[in-house]
Chain A
Amino acid sequence: MKPLQISSWSKITNHGMWHNGELLISFSESENAHERLKSAYTKLGFAYPKFFKMDGLCKLALLGSETLLTPELKSKYADDEIAILLSNSHSSLQSDSEHYQKFSNGTASPAIFVYTLPNIAIGEICIRHKLLGESNFYIFESFAPEALLEQAQLLINTTATRACLTGWVEFYKDTFEAVFFLLENQDDEPASTKLMHTIKDTTN
C-alpha cells in the first residue's frame, strides 16, 4: 500500500486565503469575519446563494474545500470514493452560543439550531459537491495531523475511499482558520505530520 500524499492544500485565516502556497486574497483589516469570508467567496467566483444562509463554520468549510474539490478531481473518482474527515476544537460553539442567546429569549430558531453540530459543515460540502462517501468529524484539543492521517489511511484501506479531504476548521468569536488537505495515492512525497504542521503554522 502506497502512503498517501498531499496532492493539494488550502488555507484560510483572518489574514487571507492560500491555495498550494499561492496567496489568493488578503483580507482587509477593516472587515469583520463574515465580510472576509464574503470577500473570499467573491474572489473564488462562487455562485451559490445558499452560502449566505450558513453559519461561519460551514462558510469556511465550503471555501476551504472549493479549490481542492475541482471538477477534474471529481471526474477521477466515483461519488462515494472521496471521503471527508474534518476536525476542530470548538465544535460548533459559535452557533451554539447564538442558539443559546435565542432560546434564552424564547425565540429559538431552526435556521440557527441546525448549525449547532460540527458535522453540518461536512453535510454542506457533500451537498455542494455531490459527495456520498464516508465522513467523520473529530474534536481535538488542538490540531492533530497524526490522527487525521491515521484515520484517512484507515478509510483508504477498509472502504471504497480512494481520496480524502481532511483538515482543521475552526470558527469562534470572529477568529477563524481552515487548513484543508487533499490526500491521494500519488507518486510524490508522502504526507507527513511535519509537513501538515508546517502548512498550518507558517505565516504566509
Chain B
Amino acid sequence: MKVFLGASGAVNPLGNTLPEIFSEMQTGKTGIKRSENAFGLGSDEYLGVIDEKLLPQNGEDKIYRMLESTLLQTVVQLSKPETLSSKSTRLIVCSTKGNIDQLEQGNSEGTHLHLLGKYIKQKFDFSTEPLVISAACISGLLGIINGARMIQQGLADHVVVAGVDLVTKFTLSGFVSFYATASGVSQPYDDKRDGINLGEASASVVLSNDKSIFNTANATYLGGATANDANHISGPSRTGEGLYRSIIHAINDASSDANSIDYISAHGTATSFNDEMESIAFSRAGLSTVPLNSFKGYFGHTLGAAGLIETLIGIESLRQNILLKSYGFDTPGTSENINVLSQNLDGNYKRMLKTASGFGGSNAAAIFQKA
C-alpha cells in the first residue's frame, strides 16, 4: 500500500512556513545566534531560538503556540480538512522534553508529555487517542515510521505526525555539562567541528493512503527501520552498528538498493563522535558517494522535532531539485569518506534517505520518494 505525505507545516528560527524556511536556507542564512551568558549559565552559547513574532499570540505557553502554528499550516493544505476528525485518522506527537520549563514554575504536572497530545486533540478536533513518542533525538523520524506502518497494516487511513521541542535551560545546562556545545555556529562533518547548537522547532505532516485528501501530495514513504546500538547510553557506537542496521533494514523494507538513493539528509550533530560514527555507517552501507548534508548549522539540533522537520525540508529539496550545502562544512573531518555538500547543488533528485541517531543508542532510517 502506498503511503503519501503532504500538508507539511513547520516553524523554526528561520520562519513559520516550510517554503519560507527552505528559501532562507537556500540563500545560506542561519537562524543560530549568539546568546551571551545563556540562561545565566555563565557561558556564551549559540542557539536557534524562535522569535515570538513568528508565533500565534493566544496566551498559551510557547510550546503550544509552536504546535498551533505548524498544525494550522497543515490544515489549510488539506483538500478535506474534516480528515482530522475521522475515526480512521490517528495522531502521533513526538517530543523529548515537551514543556519541561514548567519545572521551574514549580508545576511538575505541566511537564507531562501526554498534555501535548491532549492539546492537539482538543484544538484540532481529533476523535482518536493520540500516541505520544519520546525516544530521544530519533522521535520525529520514528513518528513517521510508526505512522506509516499503521497505514500499511490498515490500522489507520491517515496519520498526522507532529513534533516539537524547545530550547530550555534544562536541556542546555545538560549539554553544557557534557562539554557538547559548539563555540560558534556548528559545523557538522567538518574537521573543526566542536559540538552542537540547540535549536527549537515544531513540524507536522499528514501521512495517508489517499492522496486526494491533499491539495498536493509531496512524497511517498517507501520504508523505514530503527535499531539500537546496544553499546552506550550517551555515546554512539564506534562501528556505527545501529545506524548501519537501520539503514540496511530501511532499504530492504523499501525494496530499494543503495544505488537508487539520490540524497541523504543525515543527522550530523557536529559532535566529534556522532559525525564520525555516521561516516562509518554510511560507508559500510555503500553510500559514500551519495550527496549528504546536515541541517543543524541552519537552525540547530531540534531534538525530538529534528527527524520530522529535517525530513520535510529534505522532501522540499527533492521537489525543488536543489540539494542544500551542509552549513558550516568546509574541510572533511571524518575517518571515512562521505560526500558532504559544500555548495548548493542543482540536479534531478527523486529518492532520499533520512537518518537520525540519539541517546539511548537509538537510530532510525527511512526512505522517501518525491510524488
What residues of chain A have their CB less than 8 Å away from a CB belonging to chain B?
79-80, 84, 89-91, 93, 96-97, 99-100, 103-104, 106, 108-110, 113-114, 116-120, 122-124, 126-127, 129-141, 144, 147, 150-151, 154-155, 157-160
Contact = CB atoms under 8 A, between A and B. Distances in A.
Interface stretch (B17-25, B134-142, B309-317): B134-142
Given A97-B103, A141-B114, 12 more contacts: A91-B111, A100-B104, A108-B174, A109-B177, A116-B170, A127-B230, A127-B233, A129-B230, A135-B362, A154-B149, A154-B150, A160-B249
Given A114-B359, A133-B227, A154 B233 contact: no
Contact of A119 (B118, B135, B230): B135
Nearest to B234: A114
Contact of A138 (B100, B131, B233, B359): B131
A122 B134 contact: no
A195 B150 CA distance: 24
Given A117-B136, A117-B360, A159-B249, A80 B231 contact: no
A10 B1 CA distance: 38
B371 interface: no
Contacts, number: 159
A5 B351 CA distance: 39
A134 B133 CA distance: 14
Contact of B135 (A109, A116, A137): A137
B225 interface: yes
B275 interface: no
A158 B149 contact: yes
A90 B134 contact: no
A154 B103 contact: no
A147 B233 contact: no
Nearest to A134: B226
A123 B233 contact: yes
A103 B360 contact: no
Nearest to A141: B114
B233 A120 contact: yes
Nearest to B135: A119
Nearest to B241: A132
A157 B134 contact: no
17 contacts: A79-B230, A89-B114, A99-B174, A108-B177, A110-B178, A117-B360, A122-B135, A122-B360, A126-B361, A132-B227, A134-B227, A135-B362, A136-B133, A136-B135, A139-B113, A154-B149, A160-B249
Given A136-B133, A138-B132, A113 B100 contact: no
